[in-house]
C-alpha cells in the first residue's frame, strides 16, 4: 500500500510557508513521531501515526507556530510509546517538551458526567492560562478522535461524545472558534441524541439544498448592485447552518419547531476589504431588499462576548423570499472561524505591534485565572466563580477613553473599578455611568461608559462584597480588608 502520510503531503495539505529553521523542527518531529508510533494501530485498523498527522495538520491550518505543529505531531508519543518527556525535551526543546507534557496531562482528565465537569474545565483553563497552545492541541486532537469515533465500542462513544459536547465545544466557543464549536457539536449530535438527529434530518430534507440554490440565484443580482458602487467582495459564499445549532433553535419558543421560520438555514456571507465597505454594502442591500425589522445585528460596532464580529441582516429578497446576509471583513472572517488561533497566528507573523499572548487582552478572563488561583479562598468558591464568570453571558462596557472592559452580566461599577486597576477599586468613591452619577451597586449594562471617581482617603468597605460580582473584585476587596486569608486554595 502506498504511504500517504509523507512529509511532502503534510506540507502540501497544510499549505503554509515556513522558514528553514521552522521546517527543520517540523520535519524532525514528523520523522520522530512516525518512528515512535511504528507498528501501532488505531481502532480503525489504520496506522496510529495518522492521528498525529491529522491533529497536527489541523494545527497548521489554524496558522499556529512550528513548535505547536511539532508538539501536535508528538502529542501522543509520551503517552503511548516508551519515549518519555525528558527525551522529547532533549531531542527538541524545553518549549516543545512543555507543550507535549501539557497535552499528556490534560489527556488524563476523564469526563464522568456533569458532576465533575467543572473540575475538568478548571484544569483546562489552568492549562490555558499556562499556555493556550496546549489547549489548542487538545482541541485539534479531539476533532480527529471524533472523526474516528465510529470505530470505538458504544459505551466509549457516548462518554467521549458527551465530554466533547459539554467541555470542548463550549471551550471552543469561548475561544471564539465558532467553526470548531459547530463541527464538534454536529459530530456529537447523532451519538447523544440519535432519535432527535434522525427526526431533524428528515425535517431538513431538501431545505438546505433549496436555500443554497436560491442564494446562488440571487448572488449575481447582489454582486451587480455592489459593483455599481465600486464594491468588489473578496469572497461571497453561502454557508449552511450547523445542524446541532439548528436543532437548538427549533426548540426555542420563538421558532416553535417550525423549520420554515428559521431564516438562516443557509446564509449569504460577504467578505469585504474594510469596515467602511461593510456599512456601505449594508446600505446598498437595504435599498434593494427591505430588511425585517429587529433583525439587523451590528456585531462590528458591538462584538459578541467571545469577540465575534460581523453585520447580520435578514431581508425580503427577490420574490419576497426571506434570507440572512452576513457582512464582514477578511480579518473578521478569519477570526470568526478560528478565533483565538487566528489571533495567535496574526501575532506570530508580527502583524500587530505587540507579539504573542498580548493579543489575549480581549480574553481578559484568561488572564484573571492565575490571580484567582492564588487569591480566591476555598476551592469550592473558585470553581463556582469559574462556572459563573466563564459561562454566563458577558457584557462590554467602556472606559471614558473608549477601552473595552469585559465583565459578567450583572457586574457593578465596583467590578469595573477593580477590572481597570486594583488602586482604582481600592480608592473608589463614586461613579458616573453615561455621564450621570449612579450608586456603586447599580448593575452595568452593555455599552455603558463608566467613569470611576477616586479619592486617596477612600477605603473598601465590607458592604461592597454584597454587590461585587466578579471573583476578581471580591478577592481584592477581601485582601484590602484583611479577611479570608485563612483558607487559601492549595
Ligand atoms: Mn491524541
Q: Can you read off the three cell numbers belonging to residue 175? A: 475561544
State in Å: Cα 178 to ligand 1 middle. 22
Lowest mean per-residue pLDDT among 204-218, 236-250, 268-282, 291-305: 291-305
Going by pLDDT thresholds of 50, 70 and 90, the confidence category of residue 320 is confident
Question: For the residues 62-70, what does the mean pLDDT come to?
Answer: 90
C-alpha of 424 from chain center: 31
pLDDT at 383: 43
State in Å: Cα 51 to ligand 1 middle. 7
Q: Are 475 and 378 in contact (CB under 8 A)?
A: no
- Provide the mean pLDDT of the chain: 84
- Does 393 score more than 70 pLDDT? no
State in Å: Cα 29 to ligand 1 middle. 15
State in Å: Cα 461 to ligand 1 middle. 50
C-alpha of 50 from chain center: 26
State in Å: Cα 217 to ligand 1 middle. 43
pLDDT at 351: 38
Query: Can 80 be counted among the known catalytic residues?
Result: yes
**pLDDT, tens digit, 9 for 90 and up, residues 147-176:** 999 999 998 999 999 989 988 887 787 777
pLDDT at 306: 67
State in Å: Cα 104 to ligand 1 middle. 9
Question: For the residues 418-437, what does the mean pLDDT come to?
Answer: 92
Question: For the residues 82-108, what does the mean pLDDT come to?
Answer: 89
- Does 346 score more than 70 pLDDT? no
The closest alpha carbon to 75, from 17, 123, 138, belongs to: 138
pLDDT at 391: 43
State in Å: Cα 76 to ligand 1 middle. 5
Query: Can 448 be counted among the known catalytic residues?
Result: no
pLDDT at 308: 83
Give every CB contact of residue 18 below 8 A, 6+ residues apart in sequence: 26, 66
pLDDT at 131: 73
Q: Looking at per-residue confidence, does 76 or 435 come out higher?
A: 76
pLDDT at 345: 60
State in Å: Cα 80 to ligand 1 middle. 9
pLDDT at 354: 33
pLDDT at 392: 44
State in Å: Cα 30 to ligand 1 middle. 15
Secondary structure of the chain in the HEC alphabet?
CCCCCCHHHHHHHHCCCCCHHHHHHHHHHHHHHHHHCCCCECCCCCECHHHHHHHHHHHHHCCCCHHHHHHHHHCCHHHHCCCCHHHHHHHCCHHHHHHHHHHHHHHCCCCCCHHHHHHHHHHHHHHHHHCHHHHHHHHHHHHHHHHCHHHCCHHHHHHHHHHHHHHHHHHHHHCCCHHHHHHHHHHHHHHHCHHHHHHHHHHHCCHHHHHHHHHHHHHHHHHHHHHHCCCCCCEEEEEECCHHHHHHHHCCCCCCCCHHHCCCCEEEEEEECCHHHHHHHHHHHHHHCCECCCCCEECCCCCCCCCCCCEEEEEECHHHCEEEEEEEEHHHHHHHHHHHHHHHHHHHCCCCCCCHHHHHHHCHHHHHHHHHHHHCECHHHHHHHHHHHHHCCEEEEECCCCCEEEEECCCCHHHHHHHHCHHHHHCEEEEEECCEEECCCCCCCCCCEEEEEECCCCCCCHHHHHCCCCHHHHHHHHHHHCCCHHHECC
Going by pLDDT thresholds of 50, 70 and 90, the confidence category of residue 372 is very low
Q: Is residue 457 classed exposed, middle or buried when 0-12, 13-18 and 19+ CB atoms within 10 A define those classes?
A: exposed
State in Å: Cα 53 to ligand 1 middle. 10
Cα–Cα distances in Å, from 317 out to 161, 264, 285?
A: 39, 13, 9
31, 38, 79, 210: which is the annotated catalytic residue? 79
22, 27, 80, 179: which is the annotated catalytic residue? 80
Lowest mean per-residue pLDDT among 75-79, 200-204, 269-273: 75-79
State in Å: Cα 168 to ligand 1 middle. 14
State in Å: Cα 48 to ligand 1 middle. 10
State in Å: Cα 99 to ligand 1 middle. 13
pTM (two decimals):
0.70
- Does 82 score more than 90 pLDDT? no
Amino acid at each position: 500500500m502506498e504511504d500517504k502520510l509523507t512529509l511532502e503531503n503534510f506540507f502540501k495539505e497544510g499549505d503554509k510557508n515556513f522558514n528553514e529553521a521552522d521546517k527543520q523542527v517540523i520535519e524532525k518531529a514528523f520523522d520522530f513521531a512516525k518512528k515512535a508510533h511504528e507498528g501501532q494501530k488505531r481502532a480503525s485498523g489504520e496506522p496510529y501515526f495518522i492521528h498525529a498527522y491529522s491533529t497536527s495538520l489541523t494545527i497548521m491550518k489554524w496558522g499556529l507556530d512550528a513548535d505547536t505543529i511539532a508538539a501536535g505531531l508528538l502529542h501522543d508519543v509520551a503517552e503511548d510509546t516508551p519515549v518519555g518527556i525528558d527525551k522529547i525535551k532533549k531531542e527538541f526543546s524545553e518549549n516543545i517538551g512543555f507543550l507535549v507534557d501539557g497535552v499528556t496531562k490534560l489527556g488524563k482528565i476523564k469526563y464522568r458526567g456533569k458532576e465533575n465537569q467543572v473540575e475538568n474545565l478548571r484544569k483546562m483553563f489552568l492549562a490555558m492560562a499556562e499556555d493556550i497552545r496546549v489547549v489548542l492541541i487538545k482541541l485539534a486532537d479531539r476533532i480527529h478522535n471524533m472523526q474516528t469515533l465510529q470505530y470505538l465500542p458504544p459505551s466509549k462513544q457516548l462518554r467521549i461524545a458527551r465530554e466533547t459536547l459539554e467541555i470542548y465545544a463550549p471551550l471552543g466557543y469561548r475561544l471564539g472558534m465558532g467553526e470548531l464549536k459547530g463541527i464538534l457539536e454536529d459530530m456529537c449530535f447523532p451519538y447523544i441524541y440519535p432519535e432527535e438527529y434522525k427526526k431533524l434530518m428528515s425535517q431538513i430534507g431538501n431545505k438546505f439544498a433549496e436555500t443554497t440554490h436560491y442564494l446562488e440565484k440571487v448572488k449575481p443580482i447582489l454582486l451587480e448592485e455592489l459593483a455599481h458602487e465600486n464594491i468588489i467582495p473578496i469572497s461571497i459564499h453561502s454557508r449552511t447552518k450547523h445542524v446541532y445549532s439548528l436543532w437548538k433553535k427549533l426548540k426555542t419558543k420563538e421558532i416553535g419547531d417550525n423549520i420554515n421560520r428559521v431564516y438562516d438555514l443557509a446564509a449569504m456571507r460577504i467578505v469585504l476589504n474594510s469596515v467602511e465597505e461593510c456599512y456601505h454594502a449594508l446600505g446598498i442591500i437595504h435599498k434593494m431588499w427591505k430588511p425585517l425589522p429587529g433583525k439587523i445585528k451590528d456585531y462590528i460596532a458591538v462584538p459578541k462576548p467571545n469577540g465575534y464580529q460581523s453585520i447580520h441582516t435578514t431581508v425580503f429578497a427577490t420574490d419576497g423570499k426571506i434570507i440572512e446576509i452576513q457582512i464582514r471583513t477578511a480579518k473578521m472572517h478569519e477570526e470568526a472561524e478560528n478565533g483565538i488561533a487566528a489571533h495567535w497566528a496574526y501575532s506570530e507573523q508580527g502583524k500587530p505591534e505587540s507579539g504573542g499572548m498580548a493579543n489575549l487582552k480581549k480574553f481578559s478572563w484568561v488572564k484573571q485565572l492565575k490571580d484567582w488561583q492564588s487569591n480566591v479562598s476555598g476551592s469550592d468558591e473558585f470553581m463556582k466563580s469559574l462556572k459563573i464568570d466563564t459561562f454566563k453571558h458577558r457584557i462590554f462596557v467602556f472606559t471614558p477613553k473608549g477601552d473595552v472592559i469585559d465583565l459578567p452580566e450583572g457586574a457593578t461599577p465596583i467590578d469595573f473599578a477593580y477590572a481597570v486597576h486594583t488602586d482604582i477599586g481600592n480608592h473608589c468613591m463614586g461613579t458616573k455611568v453615561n455621564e450621570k452619577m449612579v450608586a456603586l451597586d447599580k448593575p452595568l449594562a452593555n455599552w455603558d461608559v463608566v467613569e470611576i471617581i477616586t479619592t486617596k482617603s477612600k477605603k473598601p468597605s465590607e458592604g461592597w462584597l454584597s454587590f461585587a460580582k466578579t471573583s476578581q473584585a471580591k478577592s481584592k476587596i477581601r485582601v484590602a480588608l484583611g479577611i479570608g486569608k485563612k483558607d487559601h486554595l492549595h
